[in-house]
Chains A and B, each alone.
Chain A
Amino acid sequence: MSTEQHAEPHVPAQRTEGPDLSTAATGPVAAPLLEVEDLKVHFPIRRGIVVERVVGHVQAVDGVGLSIDSGGTYGLVGESGCGKTTFGRAVLRLEEPTGGRVRLGGDEVTAMKGEKLRRFRSKMQMVFQDPLGSLNPRHNVDMLLSEPLKVHGVGSKAERRKLAVETLDAVGLPKSVLERFPHEFSGGQRQRLGIARALMLRPDLIVCDEPVSALDVSIQAQVMNLLDELQDEFGLTYLVIAHDLAVVRHLSDRVGVMYLGKLVEEADSETIYEHPRHPYTKALLSAVPQPDPEVEANRERIILKGDLPSPANPPSGCRFRTRCPWAEDICAEVEPEWREAASGHKVACHFDL
C-alpha cells in the first residue's frame, strides 16, 4: 500500500478539468458503485487513570454488508444507537473500520491511505444532519463552497467562483448569497448550502446523514425534492441514513434496517414497506404515526417493550430477542443467519413471519 503513496494520475486529472457538470454523470448503469462487505467498527472502552486498559468494545457496527447501484439510493434506517451514522462515516473513512472492505467504483477505499485517500475523498462526500454545526460560522458562502475545490486544487479563483454560482443555482439559492454567512440563513437554506458544498467536487457518492431531520415539515419536503432533482441532474448515488421511515421510503430504492450494529432486513423499498418480514421492521412500521385519524384509529400497533440494549454487551443469539414479541428459546441460543427469504429480500430471523 505504501507504494501507492503517490496519487494515481487519473484522479487529479479528472478533477482539474474544471466546472464540467457531467463528469460524474455516468448514466444509469446498473453496476454496484459502492460495495461494502462485512464492515465492522468497534470502539474500545477504556478504564483506568494512569494505565488505560481496554475492558471491552462497543460494537457500533458489527458486520454490515450492502451494495448500492450507480445512480441508486440506499436508505439505512434504525433508531438512535443502532450504528447507522458510524456505518456511514466508516464508509467514507471518517471513522477507521475495525474490519471489512469498502469498494467505491472498483477502488478499495479501506486499503487506501495518505495522499491517495485524501484525493479519493473528492469522489465521496457527506451531507450532515445539523447544517449550522457543520458550516464554519466565520466563512462566507463563497469561502465555504470553494474550500473543497482549493483542497483538491481545482481551477483558478474565478473558475471556483463560477462553479460555486452554478452549484448554488442547482440547490436553489441566488448568486447574491455568496457574501453572506451561515447565521444569516434559515435552517432549510443552510441545509441547501450543506448540500451545495457536498456537490462542489461533483462526487459519485453522497452519504446523507439525517438530511432533513433538523428541519420543519414544510422545509423537509423542499429538501427531499431537491435531493431527488440533484440525483437526476448530477447522476448521484446516495446512501441516506435516517430514523424516519417515511423519509427513507420516499427517497430510497432499496432499504436496509439496522438494529444494534447489524442489518436485520433488506429489500426494495416497496417490498419492505408492504411485506416486512423481520419483527423489528414490523414494529418500526407500526410505530410511525400516520397523518390520518381514520388510519390511526384502526391500526394495530406493535408496542416494543423496553429500550435498546447496550451495544457493548449485546444479547446472545438474535440481538433483537430481548424486545421481540415472538422470541423463543432458539433466539437466545443461535444467531439467525442473514438469509434470502425471497428474491432480493434478505432477513436475519429464524422464523418466517
Chain B
Amino acid sequence: MALLEVEDLRVAFGASTAVDGVSFSVPEGKVVGLVGESGCGKSVTSLAIMGLLPKRRNGRPAPVTASRPVTVEAADGGTVAAPTGPPPSATAVAPVLRRRGSGADVSGRAVFDGTDLLSLAPAAMRRRRGKDLAMVFQDPLSSLNPVVPIGRQITEVLERHRGLKGDKASKEAANLLDRVGIPDPTRRLKEYPHQLSGGMRQRVLIAIAVACNPRLLIADEPTTALDVTIQAQILELLKDLVEAEGTALLMITHDLGVVAGICDEVNVLYSGRVVESAPVRELFAAPTHPYTVGLLGSIPRLDLPIHEPLTPIRGSIADVIRWHDGCAFAPRCDRVAAPCVAGEPALVGAVHAHRCVMAEEVA
C-alpha cells in the first residue's frame, strides 16, 4: 500500500467541477508528478488532500459521528462524503464571512497511511497538517506572513508539532535555514519576508515545510515564480531533502522539464482527470495520450535542431468539463474519431495507463 492513495477525488465549486474523479498514489520515498496546464485541477487536487479548501456550507447534512461516515446524493449524481461536524468556532464565524453556497464539494478518498484525510475532523487534520504532510506553495511572498519575522514563522511550526520553545526552537529554526542553504541563518531569523529575495523566500517556505520531517511533501509549482538558475538551486535542494530523509514528494507543475528531472512517476491531468500515468522514463519514451504527445511537441527544446517547427495543440482548454458524453480532449485532438465522442473513455492499463480509446489503434 502506497503512502498516499487518492481514489476518485472529485471537487466541485457550485455547478463547476474542478476535479472530476482523480486517482493516483504516492509510494513511500518516491517523487510523483502531477502535470497539466492551468485549469486542469492540479492545484485543487493538492488543496483537497491538504484539507485547505473551504467547505461548502449550503444544504449540508447534519454532523455525523466519525465512526459512521454517511454519504449523500450530490446534485450531479455523484456521492459526497458528508463532512464530519464543523468546529464550534467555524459555525459561529463562517456564515458571517462567507456567502451561503460558496465553497467546495469534495468527495472521494485520500488515504494517507491508512487514514482517509478527507473524512478527518478539522482538529485531527490540523494535527497532521504541517507534521505528517506539508506543503510548499508557488508564491512564497504571499504564503509568508509579511509582518512576522521568518524565524517566528518557523518556530510556530516547531512549537505546534514538536513542542519546542524559546531558545531551543530558535536554534532548530536556524538549523533548518542552514539545511535549506540560507547563509548566516541566525541573523536571517529576525528578518521579514520582504527583505529576502525570491529564491530565499522559497527556501524559507521549504524550511517550514520540512521542519517536522513530514512523510509527504506536496510542492505546488515550487519553482514557477523563480529564475532558471534559482529554479535549479531549489530543485536540487528538494531532491537532496527527499533523498536524505526518504520523504515522499508530490510535485505539481506545468513544466515537463522539471518532471523529467525530478519525478519517478508522472500523472498527466487534463480537464480534471488523469489522462495518462506512467513511470517517468516510459512516459517520455512512449507518450500514449494525444494530449501528452501534444504537450511534448509544444515545448521548444535545447537539444533538438534549431528552428524545428513546434507542433502545438490546437484550440484551448474549455471552461466546462465534459467527460460524461465523450473525451474532453476530443475538440483539440488530431486523432479524434467516432468512438471518442461515443462515451466516457476509461483509464486503461496498469503501469502505463492512459485514457484514450484510439490509443491502441494508432499505436
Q: Tell me the A residues contacting B by CB distance below 8 Å.
A: 79-80, 186-189, 216-222, 224-225, 243-247, 249-250, 269-270, 273, 283-296, 301, 303-304, 307-308
Q: Does B200 contact A (CB under 8 A)?
A: yes
Tell me if B199 is interfacial: C-beta within 8 Å of chain A: yes
CB pair B298–A221 under 8 Å, yes or no, is yes
List residues of chain A with CB within 8 A of the CB of B229: 79, 283-284, 287, 303-304
What's the least CB distance linking A101 to chain B, in Å?
A: 30
**Are B228 and A221 touching (Cβ within 8 A)?**
no
B316 touches A288 (CB 8 A): no
**Cross-chain pairs A/B with CB under 8 angstroms, 12 sampled:** A217-B37, A218-B312, A219-B312, A221-B311, A222-B314, A243-B228, A250-B307, A284-B228, A287-B229, A289-B235, A292-B301, A304-B229
Q: Quick one: closest A residue to B227, CB to CB?
A: A79
Chain A residues whose CB sits within 8 angstroms of the CB of B260 once the complex forms: 289-293, 295-296
Q: Give the nearest-CB partner of B294 in chain A.
A: A218
- Known interface pairs A218-B294, A224-B310, A246-B300. Does A303 touch B261 (Cβ–Cβ under 8 Å)? no
Partner of B227, one of A188, A216, A243, A250: A243
Q: In whole angstroms, what is the CA distance A264 to B225 when docked?
A: 24
Does any Cβ of A come within 8 Å of B47's Cβ? no
Judge whether B360 is part of the interface by a CB distance below 8 angstroms. no
Cβ B312 vs Cβ A307 within 8 A: no
Q: With both chains docked as a complex, state the minimum distance between the C-beta of A289 and any C-beta of chain B, in angstroms.
A: 3
Q: Which residues of B contact A250 (CB under 8 A)?
A: 300, 306-307, 310
* Chain B residue nearest in CB terms to A78: B227
Chain B residues with a Cβ under 8 A of chain A:
37-38, 197, 199-200, 227-233, 235-236, 254-261, 280-281, 284, 294-303, 306-307, 309-314, 316-317
Residues of A within 8 A of B200 (CB): 307
Please indicate which of the listed interface residues B228, B231, B255, B281 has the most CB atoms of chain A within 10 Å of its own CB.
B228
- Within the assembled complex, what's the spacing in Å between the Cα atoms of A197 and B236? 42
Q: Are A217 and B228 in contact (CB under 8 A)?
A: no
Known: A189-B316, A225-B312. A245 touches B294 (CB 8 A): no
Which chain B residues border A188 with CB–CB below 8 Å? 316
Closest A residue to B312 by beta carbon equals: A221
**CA separation between A285 and B228, bound complex, in Å?**
9
B228 touches which one: A187, A245, A296 (CB < 8 A)?
A245
Q: Could you say which residues of chain A place their CB within 8 Å of the CB of B227?
A: 79-80, 243
B298 & A220 in contact (Cβ 8 Å cutoff): yes
Closest residue of chain A to B183 (Cβ to Cβ) is: A306
Other-chain residue from B233, B258, B296, B298 in contact with A303 (beta carbon distance below 8 A):
B233
Closest residue of B by beta carbon distance from A280: B229
Contacts of B199 in A (CB 8 A): 307
Q: Are B316 and A304 in contact (CB under 8 A)?
A: no
B213 CB to closest chain A CB, in angstroms? Answer: 25
**Shortest distance between the CB of A123 and any CB in chain B (Å):** 27
Of A189, A220, A289, most B-chain CB atoms within 10 Å:
A289
On chain B, the residues within 8 Å of A245 by CB distance are 228, 302
Output the least CB separation between A277 and chain B (Å).
17
Partner of A221, one of B38, B281, B297, B307: B297
Query: A285: which B residues are within 8 A, CB to CB?
Result: 302
CB distance from A309 to the nearest CB of B (A): 11
- The one of B258, B284, B313 that contacts A289, using a Cβ cutoff of 8 Å: B258
B312 near A273: Cβ-Cβ < 8 Å: no
Separation of A124 and B305 alpha carbons in the complex (Å): 31
What 11 additional pairs, Cβ within 8 angstroms, besides A225-B312, A292-B301, A292-B303? A187-B38, A217-B256, A245-B228, A245-B302, A246-B299, A249-B300, A249-B302, A250-B300, A287-B228, A303-B233, A304-B233
- B312 contacts A296, CB within 8 Å? no
Contact in complex: B312, A288 (CB < 8 Å): no
A216 to B259, CA, bound (A): 16
Which residues of chain B are near A303, meaning CB under 8 Å? 229, 232-233, 236
Q: Are A218 and B228 in contact (CB under 8 A)?
A: no
Q: How far is the CA of A244 from the CA of B309 in the complex (A)?
A: 17
Question: A344 → chain B, closest Cβ, in Å?
Answer: 15
Q: Are B306 and A269 in contact (CB under 8 A)?
A: yes
Identify the closest chain A residue to B256 (Cβ): A291
A217 to B230, CA, bound (A): 21
Q: Are A294 and B37 in contact (CB under 8 A)?
A: no
Bound: A224/B298 CA distance, A: 10
Are B233 and A290 in contact (CB-based, < 8 A)? no
In whole angstroms, how far apart are the Cα atoms of A308 and B229 in the complex?
A: 10
* C-alpha spacing A80/B197, complex, angstroms: 11
Shortest C-beta distance, B173 to chain A (Å), equals 21
Q: How far is the CB of B197 from chain A (nearest CB, A)?
A: 4
Considering only CB atoms, which chain B residue lies closest to A220 in the complex?
A: B298
Contact between A249 and B306, CB atoms less than 8 A apart? yes
| B300–A247 touching, CB < 8 Å | yes
Q: Are A288 and B311 in contact (CB under 8 A)?
A: no
Distance from A132 Cβ to chain B, minimum over Cβ atoms (Å): 13
Q: Bound state CA distance, A286 and B297, in angstroms?
A: 21
Q: Tell me which of B232, B261, B295 contacts A218 (CB under 8 A).
A: B295
Look across to chain A and name the residue whose beta carbon is closest to the beta carbon of B228. A287
> CB-CB < 8 A to A221: which residues of B?
297-300, 310-313
Does A295 lie within 8 Å of B313, measured CB to CB? Answer: no
Q: When chains A and B are docked, how far (Å) is the Cα of A184 from the Cα of B299? A: 27
CA distance A217 to B235 in the complex (A): 20
Q: Which residue of A lies closest to B237 (CB)?
A: A303
Q: Which of A247, A287, A301: most chain B CB closer than 10 A?
A: A287
B7 to chain A, nearest CB (A): 27
Task: Return B271 CB to nearest CB of chain A, in Å.
Answer: 13
A249 partner residues in chain B, CB cutoff 8 A: 300, 302, 306
Chain B residue with Cβ nearest A269: B306
Separation in Å of the B41 CB from the closest CB of chain A? Answer: 14
Chain B residues near A216 (CB-CB < 8 A)? 37-38, 254, 316-317
Given A79-B229, A216-B37: A291 touches B259 (CB 8 Å cut-off): yes
Contacts of B233 in A (CB 8 A): 303-304
Chain A proximity of B283: nearest CB distance (Å): 8
Q: Please, how many angstroms separate the alpha-carbon atoms of A79 and B199 in the complex?
A: 12
Q: Which residues of A contact B254 (CB under 8 A)?
A: 216-217
B307 neighbours in A (Cβ, 8 Å):
250
Contact flag A296-B261 (CB < 8 Å), given A79-B229, A219-B312, A287-B229: yes
**Alpha-carbon distance between A218 and B290 when the two chains are bound, in angstroms:** 12
Chain A nearest Cβ from B96, distance in angstroms: 30
- Which residues in B have their C-beta under 8 angstroms from that of A293? 260-261, 280-281, 284
Distance in Å from the Cβ of B334 to the closest Cβ of chain A? 12
User: Are A289 and B255 also in contact (CB < 8 A) when A217-B295, A219-B312, A225-B309 are?
Assistant: yes
